[in-house]
Amino acid sequence: MTDHIDPSSDRLKQHFAQRVINQARQVLEVWQRLQRLDWNEARMLELREAAQLLQRYAERFEQAEHRQLAEGIGHCMQAVADNRGRLSSGVISELNLLMQRLARTGLRHGDRFEQTVLPPLRKPVYLALQHLERAERLAQQLEFFGMTAQPLDSANAFRAAMLERHPAAILMEVDFSGPGCGLQLAQSVQQGLEQKIPLLFYSHDDTDTPTRLAAVRAGGQEFFTGTLDASTLLERIEVLTHVAQYDPYRVLIIDDSRAQATHTERVLNGAGIVTRTLTEPIQAMAELAEFQPDLIILDMYMPNCTGTELAKVIRHNERYVSVPIIYLSAEDDLDKQLDAMSEGGDDFLTKPIKPRHLIATVRNRAARARNLKARMVRDSLTGLYNHTHTLQLLEDARYRAQRDGQPLSFAMLDIDFFKKVNDTYGHPMGDRVIKSLALFLKQRLRKSDHIGRYGGEEFAVVMPGTDAQTARQVLDGIRRRFAEIRYPAHPQDLSCTFSAGIAELRGDLDSKRLSQQADEALYRAKHGGRNRVELFGD
């Protein structure tokens, strides 16, 4: 007996499938708006309602993953409401994770309605290059990094694709479809668009200033020449399309008045800034190590300890020399304000202060402090943490793991035969491989994992809440995928592998011994044939 499928039922389910996808996009758009603007009550309610609607559609179309994600977002927004509208770093981390998963979802393969062509949530990148083979090879490389790219072989194909769907970004060769035609084509498709599409130009040969000027006038935000490599391209696209995770500013409020501290918290939380409050200044150093704020708001007059005294204590610790301290006080004597600022403070705000003034000051100071810190603690080639800061992060993670009874793993990675890469292909290719692995690790590890460049071709990863076996599974998967990447080179394309050693925190082990154990496991991986992951103690 043959099953008969009701065509009207089919159409109805297809309709709801499209509704699920469209509503998922709506949720992601509200989330992006929240990141750019203030987290006021109306916008948070909009996100909650969008998630509720997604949940209803997902239930009707029996899309379990969408339903679970929508429920998770709803629970997060309920947690914010229960906390009187105040954000916590835990809620932000959870929302980040949920939104990332939502951005990657689509209809399950094997669905009876698979023939319904539903575009993925994450838009593709259009590749308009003179040589289709080059574009296809680049698209394949971008796939390794989790980005969808669509090669296009003619101006007509490009225009047709633009009419069908706008991409996340466009990579356009200046001479695509004829000398200088790429410039004109890119400029024409952007005309009339309210929101411009990130546009990157490419020329195989180096170009003159007039060509680059024309690219700028056509809306180009980047210009590549020579050999195109996927990791560099992806890095720029991610910056231009703002797909990086939302990382709210963190502010530590130290004020003996609970009422004043709560008021300051509410103002800053409403702007999407995560806060933590201390009414006992004597606990400040322990809280700084735990919370790692971008900025400190400090009351001038507190019993047992004045604000200026506490500022001096904070500045004695090298780690907190560059953390901005803003005094918030009713003190209106200018001389006293200036004296206080000479004692380790960066700004002085007088109570009562308008919310907009407070938010703007905190954001500006925190943004500059973050940029400065990034230059101090990050490696210039990869953007990963440098050797010194990685060890500091390992020490912080070790302290928390031992205090909370949680697992912690530390891994060391080393690119195999890297000297041969430099000697055969040159140092620019070596740098490209290093940057590629750095990007690969950033994409595939959790936000709570800390990735550092230990030196040269060596990397380190601090993995809180992770036992050694789980760490091995994760890094082994990354190792296999990384080995599939091909780097265009002569006489043949290059591929690279890495070896890794992992140690898990045991008992009262200190961070120095933990890093030595990871190093010993890495040594064994190297001498055991390379391109493998080894655990200390196996």
Q: Per-domain residue ranges for the chain?
A: 7-104, 125-240, 251-358, 387-535
Q: Is the pLDDT of residue 244 over 50?
A: no
CB contact set of 223 (below 8 Å; sequence gap of 6+): 200, 201, 202, 203, 207, 212, 215
387-535 belongs to CATH 3.30.70.270: yes
User: What average pLDDT does range 23-42 have in this prediction?
Assistant: 75
User: What average pLDDT does range 399-409 have in this prediction?
Assistant: 92
The CA distances from residue 417 to 89, 429, 440, in Å, are 41, 13, 19
- Residues 278-291 pLDDT 10s: 888 888 888 888 88
**Sheet hosting strand 347-350, strand order edge to edge:** 274-278, 250-254, 295-298, 325-329, 347-350
The CA distances from residue 275 to 254, 333, 530, in Å, are 11, 28, 46
- Residues 114-150 pLDDT 10s: 333 333 346 789 999 999 988 998 888 787 777 789 9
**What pLDDT does 15 receive?**
59
Q: Is the pLDDT of residue 277 over 60?
A: yes
**What pLDDT does 117 receive?**
32
User: What average pLDDT does range 144-172 have in this prediction?
Assistant: 89
Q: Is the pLDDT of residue 493 over 90?
A: no
Q: Is the pLDDT of residue 335 over 90?
A: no
What is the β-pairing status of strands 250-254 and 295-298? parallel
- The model's pTM: 0.59
DSSP assignment letter at 170:
E
Count the neighbouring beta carbons within 10 Å of the beta carbon of residue 117.
Answer: 6
Instruction: Judge contact between 473 and 415, C-beta under 8 A.
Output: no
Fold type of domain 251-358: Rossmann fold (3.40.50)
Sign of CA dihedral 338, 342, 345, 346: positive
Instruction: Judge contact between 441 and 500, C-beta under 8 A.
Output: no
Count the neighbouring beta carbons within 10 Å of the beta carbon of residue 160.
Answer: 11
To 5 degrees, how large is the angle CA 113–CA 118–CA 120? Answer: 130
Nearest-angstrom CA–CA distance, 63 and 186: 39
**What pLDDT does 118 receive?**
33
**What pLDDT does 317 receive?**
84
DSSP state string for 259-308: HHHHHHHHHHHTTT-EEEEES-GGGHHHHHHHH--SEEEE-S--TTS-HH
The CA distances from residue 497 to 235, 329, 477, in Å, are 21, 57, 12
β-bridge mates for residue 250, sequence order: 274
Nearest-angstrom CA–CA distance, 352 and 330: 7
Element (H, E) at 75: helix 64-82
User: What average pLDDT does range 372-383 have in this prediction?
Assistant: 82
To 5 degrees, how large is the angle CA 462–CA 466–CA 467? Answer: 110
Nearest-angstrom CA–CA distance, 330 and 333: 9
- Residues 201-232 pLDDT 10s: 999 888 889 999 999 988 888 999 987 777 77
- The pLDDT-based confidence of 3 (bands split at 50, 70, 90) is very low
- Residues 420-460 pLDDT 10s: 999 999 998 899 899 889 988 988 888 789 999 998 999 99
- Residues 61-113 pLDDT 10s: 778 888 999 999 999 988 888 877 777 767 877 887 788 778 766 433 333 33
- The pLDDT-based confidence of 18 (bands split at 50, 70, 90) is confident
**What pLDDT does 110 receive?**
32
Least confident of 47-51, 194-198, 357-361: 194-198
DSSP state string for 425-481: H-HHHHHHHHHHHHHHHHHHS-TTSEEEEEETTEEEEEEET--HHHHHHHHHHHHHH
Least confident of 235-239, 346-350, 495-499, 520-524: 235-239
What is the β-pairing status of strands 222-225 and 199-203? parallel
Domain boundaries 125-240, CATH class: alpha beta
* CA-wise closest residue to 396 among 258, 529, 514: 514
114, two tokens: 């698979």
118, two tokens: 């539903």
Instruction: Judge contact between 279 and 273, C-beta under 8 A.
Output: no
User: What average pLDDT does range 312-328 have in this prediction?
Assistant: 86
- Residues of the chain with pLDDT > 90, as a percent, come to 34
**What pLDDT does 182 receive?**
92
Same fold, 125-240 and 251-358: yes
Q: Which range in 142-156, 177-191, 315-329, 492-506 is most confidently predicted, on average pLDDT?
A: 492-506
Query: Could you give the count of Cα atoms lying within 13 Å of 392 in the half-sphere of its Cβ?
Result: 13
Question: Which are the catalytic amino acids?
Answer: 457
User: What average pLDDT does range 369-395 have in this prediction?
Assistant: 87
User: What average pLDDT does range 13-40 have in this prediction?
Assistant: 73
**Residue 311, SS3 per DSSP:** helix
User: What average pLDDT does range 57-61 have in this prediction?
Assistant: 84
- The pLDDT-based confidence of 5 (bands split at 50, 70, 90) is very low
